[in-house]
Amino acid sequence: MVQINAEEESFQRRWDLAMQSFQNGDYAGALFQLKALEKDGVQEACVEIGNIYELGSGGVKKDLESAKLWYKKAIQSVGDPAGYLSYARINFFQKNYD
């Protein structure tokens, strides 16, 4: 049986709340929660933050430059494959986004 410490459980609970907010269309709430997680060392939140800025809905203005910065942070901090893909997608298709 795998033991989960209280800190990991707290991060997981906070992550679940952020994803629930996102799924409910409350992007501003999800963004707030994800930025707090990232500040606490959960670097995997960077891609999700980038996604929210890229989509721009639910109380968050679309901001491709901010999205790229967060994707780049995901790449630099944990080498996140989704960060690479998302960063490349925006750079390749940015003319179509505007």
Give the percent of the chain with pLDDT over 70: 89
pLDDT top residue among 98 and 12: 12
Instruction: Give the model confidence (pLDDT) of 24-51 as tens digits.
Output: 999 999 999 999 999 999 999 999 999 9
Share above pLDDT 90 across residues of the chain, in percent, rounded to a whole number:
80
Structural contact between residues 65 and 77, judged by C-beta atoms closer than 8 angstroms:
no
Measure CA 80 to chain center: 11
Separation of alpha carbons 41 and 56, rounded Å: 24
Whole-prediction pTM:
0.86
Q: Tell me: the pLDDT tens digits for 17-26?
A: 999 999 999 9
Q: What is the pLDDT of residue 98?
A: 56
